[in-house]
A = this chain, B = another copy of it.
């Protein structure tokens, strides 16, 4: 029992070739960090998510394709992706951090769909005139955190249709 730990099982589960030939799409998520079969698989699952997810969510979906991928490994992979700017923290749900794939590197924020969990990037909706009011009172605003919640276009359509 517990024959476990056979990386080739993982490789078989993903559409991946051995050693230095990791899929570019997966590799891109990690920036300069080193790759592994586990990370390739995790990257695929991250890209498969339509919207925001928690570490636990991801660990579960990865677990469906390969057993024995540790939760710590998922956390480490997520940290690497965040470092590389491939994913972003977009809030929290029930005490767990909500993450989402995010290719944009311009200044923007996220709209989290409360129906399906999808995350949409949106322009910064700050009114600089309104911000000036704070400046007028003597304060200096250097940064901000914004998360929008609502219903995404797809869910609105379904609601209208159904």
Name A's B-contacting residues (CB within 8 A). Answer: 91, 111, 113-114, 120, 122-131, 133-134, 137-153, 156-157
> Least Cβ distance of A98 to chain B in Å?
12
Q: In the complex, are the beta carbons of A142 and B149 less than 8 A apart?
A: yes
Q: In the complex, are the beta carbons of A126 and B127 less than 8 A apart?
A: yes
Residue of B nearest to A122 (CB): B134
What is the CA–CA distance of A125 and B151 in the complex, to the nearest angstrom? 21
Q: In the complex, are the beta carbons of A130 and B124 less than 8 A apart?
A: yes
What is the CA–CA distance of A123 and B134 in the complex, to the nearest angstrom? 8
Residue of B nearest to A146 (CB): B146
In order of increasing CB-CB distance, the 7 nearest A-B pairs are A138-B153, A127-B127, A125-B130, A141-B150, A140-B151, A142-B150, A143-B149
Contacts beyond the supplied A124-B130, A138-B153, A140-B151: 18 A-B pairs with Cβ under 8 Å: A111-B141, A120-B139, A125-B134, A126-B126, A126-B130, A127-B128, A138-B152, A138-B156, A138-B157, A139-B156, A140-B150, A142-B149, A143-B148, A143-B149, A144-B146, A145-B146, A145-B147, A145-B149
Chain B neighbourhood of A111, CB < 8 A: 134, 139, 141
